[in-house]
Amino acid sequence: MNDMRLFERAATVDEVKIRAKDVNVHYGIAHALKDVSVDIGDRLVTAFIGPSGCGKSTFLRCLNRMNDTIAAARVTGAIELDGQDIYDRRVDPVQLRAKVGMVFQKPNPFPKSIYENVAYGPRIHGLARTRAELDEIVEKALRRAALWNEAKDRLQSPGTGLSGGQQQRLCIARAIATEPEVLLMDEPASALDPIATAQIEELIDELRQTYSVVIVTHSMQQAARVSQRTAFFHLGHLVEYGETGDIFTNPRDPRTESYISGRIG
């Protein structure tokens, strides 16, 4: 049995989707992220865990260049998507963000209808030829985000009129409507009730059949449920990274051990 497990572990070599090398982020003079190097696998869910302020969101934003939009942020190091440097001058950040979609910590629907929130991305990227095709994309995204039943009779109402948890699911629908290759989710379930949380976790599991998913979460149970790889951050450092089961049952670094057993955080 043990031998078998060792064999399985040795046989698991991730196909790399995103490779980060020596990434540092400064906000003005504050050094928020320190020499982070990590390979993020394709068709896997990777969880980022760690205490508040340790740099999880900062690092997540590096992966689709969202830090470009923060004037004080300075990013150095290298990040490759499928072997291509995403910080290359020739890369259009808007195109990049269609491939590497993001769901933010706070729901941020556009001040438009529910339908338009989801249809916006597919429309600007030319994913539908007809109105019927666009309707289909919108319905599919809302179904996958577990919002269809609540939204189907009010598609023309403003997205901002939904409850907080519904808005978060709308933002998830918006992010997956363009079929991104990588989905970055920053605490996507923090505003959701247990039922919606379970639905989103199911969606995450479904998405990893085709995509690479990175999720930031404060819930150790959630990380253990949804992810296959876990990265533990502490004070701007990536302290430990590996198979989720290993990180939770057999952490190597005392800081990881303290965090997962609830002693720091």
Ligand X SMILES: Nc1ncnc2c1ncn2[C@@H]1O[C@H](COP(=O)(O)OP(=O)(O)OP(=O)(O)O)[C@@H](O)[C@H]1O
52 three-class SS: coil
At 183, list the tokens: 């989905």
Is residue 54 a contact point for ligand X (CB under 6 A)?
yes
Q: Which is nearer to ligand X, 115 or 232 (CB)?
A: 232
Residue 52 touches which member of Mg ion, ligand X, none, C-beta under 5-8 Å by kind: ligand X
CB 47 within 8 A of CB 89: no
Q: 51 vs 93, which CB is nearer to ligand X?
A: 51
Separation of alpha carbons 71 and 224, rounded Å: 35
Q: How far apart are CA 48 and CA 56, in angstroms?
A: 6
- Selected from 18, 38, 55, 66, the binder of ligand X by CB under 6 A is 55
Place of tokens 């890369």: 91
Name the minimum Å distance from CB 131 to ligand X: 40
CB of 200 to ligand X, least distance (A): 18
- What sections of 12-163 are H helices per DSSP? 56-62, 93-99, 114-124, 131-144, 148-151
Q: Which amino acid is at 152?
A: K
Q: How far is the CB of 124 from ligand X (least distance, A)?
A: 26
Angle at 53 between CA 173 and CA 252, to 5 degrees: 95
Q: How far is CA 162 from the centre of its chain?
A: 22
Residues 109-138 that bind ligand X (CB under 6 A): none
CB of 244 to ligand X, least distance (A): 18
229 contacts ligand X (rule: CB under 6 A): no
User: Rule CB under 5 A: which residues touch Mg ion?
Assistant: 57
Instruction: Name the minimum Å distance from CB 105 to Mg ion.
Output: 6
Among 38, 45, 58, 159, binds ligand X (CB under 6 A): 58
| Contact window for ligand X (CB under 6 A) among 53-61, 83-91, 150-158, 207-215 | 53-61
Asked if 49 and 223 touch (Cβ cutoff 8 Å), the reply is yes
For 124: left if phi > 0, alpha if psi spans -120 to 50, otherwise beta; the answer is alpha
Using CB under 6 A as the binding rule, whether residue 65 contacts ligand X is answered as no
Among 70, 78, 94, 264, binds ligand X (CB under 6 A): 70
Is residue 27 a contact point for ligand X (CB under 6 A)?
yes
In our burial notation (b when 16+ CB lie closer than 10 A, e otherwise), range 56-80 reads bbbbbbbbbbbbeeeeebebebebb
Tell me the backbone φ, ψ of residue 202, rounded to 5 degrees: -65, -40
**221 binding ligand X? (CB under 6 A):** no
For residue 133, the minimal CB distance to ligand X (Å) is 37
Binding site for ligand X (CB under 6 A): 27, 30, 32, 50, 52-58, 70, 72
